[in-house]
A and B are shown apart, each in its own frame.
Chain A
Amino acid sequence: MAKTRLDGVLQAVKKVRGGVKVDHHKNTAECEVVRMPVPAKVVIPMQQHIGAPCEPVVKVGDEVAVGQLIGDTDKFVSAPIHASVSGKVIAVGDVKLPNGTMSKAVTIESDGEMRLWEGIEPPKVETREDLIKAVRASGLVGLGGAGFPTHVKLNFPADKNIDTLVINAAECEPYITVDYRECIENSWDILAGVYLLKDMLGFKQVIIAVEDNKPEAFKVLKNIADHEHDVHDEVKLMVLESKYPQGAEKMMVQSATGRKVPPGKLPADVGCVVMNVASVAFIARYIKTGKPLVSRSLTVDGSAIKEPKNVRVPVGTNIGDIIEFCGGFSKEPCKILTGGPMMGLAIVGTDLPVLKQNNALLAFSKDDAVLKPENDCIRCGRCAIACPMSLMPTNIVKAAKAKDPEALKQLGIMVCMECGSCAFACPAGKPLVQHMRLAKAILREEGNK
Chain B
Amino acid sequence: MVDGKKLVVSASPHLRAKDTTTRIMLDVIIALLPALGAAIAIFGPRVLAVTATTVITAVLSEYVARKVMKRHNTIGDLSAVVTGLILAFNLPVSIPLWMAAIGSCVAIIIVKQMFGGIGQNFANPAIVARIFLLISFGTAMTGWTAPLSWKTDAVSTATPLAIVGGESAEALPSLLDMFLGIRGGCIGETCSLALIIGGIYLIARKVISPKIPLAYIGTVAVVMLIAGKFDLEFVAYQLMGGGLLLGAFFMATDYSTSPIKSNAKIVFGIGCGLLTCVIRLFASLPEGVSFAILIMNLLVPHIETIMAPKPFGTVKEKKSKAKEAEAK
User: In B14-32, which residues have CB < 8 Å from any A CB?
Assistant: 14-17, 19-21, 23-24
Q: Contact between B9 and A348 (Cβ–Cβ < 8 Å)? A: yes
Select B14's contact among A262, A346, A348, A394, beta carbons within 8 Å: A346
Q: Does A336 contact B (CB under 8 A)?
A: yes
Known: A384-B260, A428-B21. Is A418-B315 also a contact (CB below 8 A)? no
Of the stretches A85-93, A146-154, A375-383, the one at the interface is A375-383
Q: Classify the interface of chain A: helix, strand, loop or mixed.
A: loop
Whole-angstrom CA separation of A364 from B119 in the bound complex: 33
Residues of B within 8 A of A345 (CB): 12
Q: Contact between B24 and A392 (Cβ–Cβ < 8 Å)? A: no
Q: Contact between B12 and A342 (Cβ–Cβ < 8 Å)? A: yes
Residues of A within 8 A of B74 (CB): 375-376
Known: A376-B74, A392-B309. Is A420-B13 also a contact (CB below 8 A)? yes
Whole-angstrom CA separation of A389 from B314 in the bound complex: 10
Distance in Å: Cβ of A111 to nearest Cβ of chain B: 24
Q: Does A250 contact B (CB under 8 A)?
A: yes
Known: A334-B7, A378-B21. Is A350-B12 also a contact (CB below 8 A)? no
Residues of A within 8 A of B13 (CB): 341-343, 420-421, 423-424, 433
Known: A391-B311, A427-B24. Is A320-B2 also a contact (CB below 8 A)? yes
Q: Does B132 contact A (CB under 8 A)?
A: no
Q: Does B6 contact A (CB under 8 A)?
A: yes
Q: Does B282 contact A (CB under 8 A)?
A: no
Known: A22-B15, A174-B15, A260-B313. Is A377-B1 also a contact (CB below 8 A)? no
Distance in Å: Cβ of B24 to nearest Cβ of chain A: 6
Q: Contact between B314 and A412 (Cβ–Cβ < 8 Å)? A: yes
Q: Does A439 contact B (CB under 8 A)?
A: no
Select A337's contact among B14, B23, B77, B119, beta carbons within 8 Å: B14
Residues of B within 8 A of A112 (CB): none
Q: Contact between A349 and B1 (Cβ–Cβ < 8 Å)? A: yes
Q: Contact between A379 and B256 (Cβ–Cβ < 8 Å)? A: yes
Distance in Å: Cβ of A131 to nearest Cβ of chain B: 29
Q: Contact between A381 and B311 (Cβ–Cβ < 8 Å)? A: no
Most B CB within 10 A of own CB, among A372, A378, A420: A378
Q: Does B261 contact A (CB under 8 A)?
A: yes
Q: Does B153 contact A (CB under 8 A)?
A: no
Q: Contact between B8 and A427 (Cβ–Cβ < 8 Å)? A: no
How many CB-defined contacts (below 8 Å) exist between A and B? 164
Whole-angstrom CA separation of A410 from B15 in the bound complex: 29
Binary contact track B157-183/A, C-beta < 8 Å → 1, others 0 = 000000000000000000000000000
Known: A376-B74, A377-B119, A379-B119. Is A433-B11 also a contact (CB below 8 A)? yes
Q: Contact between A336 and B7 (Cβ–Cβ < 8 Å)? A: yes
Known: A334-B8, A376-B119, A392-B308. Is A424-B17 also a contact (CB below 8 A)? yes
Known: A260-B313, A390-B310. Is A429-B8 also a contact (CB below 8 A)? no
Known: A376-B118, A390-B310, A412-B311. Is A418-B7 also a contact (CB below 8 A)? no
Q: Contact between A265 and B313 (Cβ–Cβ < 8 Å)? A: yes
Q: Contact between A433 and B261 (Cβ–Cβ < 8 Å)? A: no
Known: A347-B9, A434-B11. Is A424-B260 also a contact (CB below 8 A)? no
Q: Does A371 contact B (CB under 8 A)?
A: yes
Q: Does A77 contact B (CB under 8 A)?
A: no
Q: Contact between A344 and B14 (Cβ–Cβ < 8 Å)? A: yes
Distance in Å: Cβ of A118 to nearest Cβ of chain B: 36
Binary contact track B44-80/A, C-beta < 8 Å → 1, others 0 = 0000000000000000000000000000001001010
A sample of 11 inter-chain contacts (CB < 8 A) reads A261-B313, A346-B12, A347-B7, A349-B1, A371-B14, A391-B309, A392-B260, A411-B308, A415-B312, A424-B13, A427-B19
Give B residues with C-beta under 8 Å from A. Answer: 1-4, 6-17, 19-21, 23-24, 74, 77, 79, 117-120, 255-256, 260-261, 308-315
